[in-house]
């Protein structure tokens, strides 16, 4: 198991992928180890006790560091969401391709479906491939997409056999989960619409009704759009009331789906890309973690991240 974060990306994923791709599917499972790639969002190396943090303790991440390789001189292709993920999936420098900046939540897929990707290489080596978590590389062929039918192309079209994601970031609409090509729990009588240029629907916004916010947003970051679960988001959406997530349950939902993929594929070689949302904003941890770090909500969600890395098991 490897843990990386977008601020400390290395070329380890390229080495791993090429090693896997160089093996024939006829090779035994013993020669094709399972690979779980854990990707944190906005986590700095100073946030982990295995890198010297003293005010917070991350025992599960520390166990991985103690049993593996800890990078102390890492270099990333980008320190922001979309471009770093584009580089991970394609092996290309994002600054060499237009359109790889931070995407809105309604963006079209920016990875060509006929390109060589990390999951495709694992598939060619006989692996089952899955992604659980944050995507943020666009979906569909157009911005004006229909969210109420099949939403594609997406992760499945660039190499993942299974995907359970949210489209962009937790602070952008639409605030829904997609399992493969469909929004989870969508009521056909309450269709979803998304717009990043103007307000749509009758939902209150953070700009108009700041008194409804349970989490105050930072000024100037655009978190004054549609309010979902008491949190102002970037962009506007209407509909999909039953499908909208509760922030406090996102981490445990992703963990359950990741564990389900592992359980289902335990007898065959698999590659799982577990793209966590912590500690990216909005920081709204589950109740069990609120106030536990003594470092505010950011510290609390880092503890939540460490718990998820442990897979529901407390570190000794």
Number of domains composing the chain? 2
Structure tokens at 158: 């660039």
How many Cα neighbours within 13 Å face the side chain of 32?
A: 26
Q: Are residues 100 and 113 in the same domain?
A: yes
Q: Are residues 260 and 133 in the same domain?
A: yes
CATH of the domain at 70: 3.40.720.10
Which conformational region is residue 216 in: left (phi greater than 0), alpha (psi within -120 to 50 degrees), or beta?
Answer: beta
* Whole-number pLDDT of residue 219: 63
Reduce the DSSP state of residue 84 to 3 states and report it. Answer: helix
Q: Are residues 217 and 234 in the same domain?
A: yes
Q: Quick one: pLDDT band at residue 142, thresholds 50, 70, 90?
A: confident
**Does the structure show a pLDDT above 70 at 150?**
yes
**Does the structure show a pLDDT above 60 at 17?**
no
Q: Are residues 231 and 257 in the same domain?
A: no
CA distances for 224 relative to 108, 196, 198, 271, angstroms: 23, 12, 12, 38
Q: Are residues 69 and 155 in the same domain?
A: yes
**Measured CA angle at 243 (ends 240, 245), to 5 deg:** 120
pTM reported for the whole predicted model: 0.90
Domain boundary among 176, 204, 238: 238
Catalytic-labelled residue, pool 81, 181, 182, 280 = 81
CA distances for 76 relative to 8, 16, 65, angstroms: 6, 17, 19
- Our answer to whether residue 136 is catalytic in this structure is yes
The rounded mean pLDDT for the chain is 90
Q: Are residues 207 and 167 in the same domain?
A: no
Q: Are residues 208 and 91 in the same domain?
A: no
Domain boundary among 176, 205, 238: 238
Catalytic-labelled residue, pool 50, 57, 76, 136 = 136
Phi, psi of 140 (to 5 degrees): 75, 180
* Whole-number pLDDT of residue 144: 85
132 vs 261: CA distance, rounded Å:
9
- Among 4-18, 40-54, 57-71, 174-188, the minimum mean pLDDT is found in 4-18
Q: Are residues 291 and 175 in the same domain?
A: yes
Q: In terms of residue numbers, what domain contains 210?
A: 193-238
Q: Are residues 157 and 271 in the same domain?
A: yes
Q: Quick one: pLDDT band at residue 13, thresholds 50, 70, 90?
A: very low
* Whole-number pLDDT of residue 15: 33
CA distances for 33 relative to 27, 133, 207, 255, 305, angstroms: 11, 22, 50, 21, 24
Domain boundary among 181, 213, 238: 238
Q: Which residue has the tokens 């993929």?
A: 261
Q: Are residues 91 and 162 in the same domain?
A: yes
Structure tokens at 229: 């679960």
């Amino acid at each position: 198991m490897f843990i990386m974060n977008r601020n400390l990306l290395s070329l380890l994923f390229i080495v791993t992928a090429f090693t896997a791709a160089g093996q024939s599917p006829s090779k035994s499972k013993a020669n094709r180890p399972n690979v779980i790639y854990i990707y944190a969002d906005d986590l700095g190396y100073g946030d982990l006790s295995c890198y010297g943090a003293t005010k917070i303790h991350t025992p599960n991440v520390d166990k991985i560091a103690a049993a593996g390789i800890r990078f102390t001189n890492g270099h990333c292709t980008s320190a922001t969401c979309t471009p770093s993920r584009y580089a991970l999936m394609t092996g290309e420098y994002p600054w060499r391709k237009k359109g790889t900046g931070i995407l809105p939540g309604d963006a079209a897929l920016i990875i060509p479906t006929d390109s060589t990707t990390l999951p495709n290489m694992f598939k060619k080596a006989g692996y089952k491939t899955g992604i659980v978590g944050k995507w943020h590389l666009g979906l569909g062929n157009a911005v004006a997409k229909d969210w109420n039918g099949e939403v594609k192309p997406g992760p499945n079209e660039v190499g993942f056999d299974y995907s359970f994601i949210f489209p962009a970031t937790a602070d952008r609409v639409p605030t829904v989960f997609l399992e493969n090509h469909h929004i989870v729990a969508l009521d056909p009588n309450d269709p979803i619409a998304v717009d990043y240029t103007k307000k749509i629907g009758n939902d209150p916004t953070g700009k108009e009704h700041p008194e409804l916010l349970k989490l105050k947003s930072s000024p100037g970051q655009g978190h004054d759009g549609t309010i979902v679960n008491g949190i102002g988001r970037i962009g506007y959406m209407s509909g999909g009331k039953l499908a909208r997530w509760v922030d406090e349950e996102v981490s445990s939902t992703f963990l359950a789906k990741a564990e389900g993929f592992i359980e289902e594929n335990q007898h065959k070689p698999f590659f799982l890309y577990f793209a966590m949302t912590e500690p990216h904003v909005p920081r709204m941890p589950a109740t069990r973690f609120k106030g536990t770090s003594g470092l505010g909500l950011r510290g609390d969600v880092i503890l939540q991240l460490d718990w998820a890395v442990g897979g529901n098991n407390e570190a000794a």
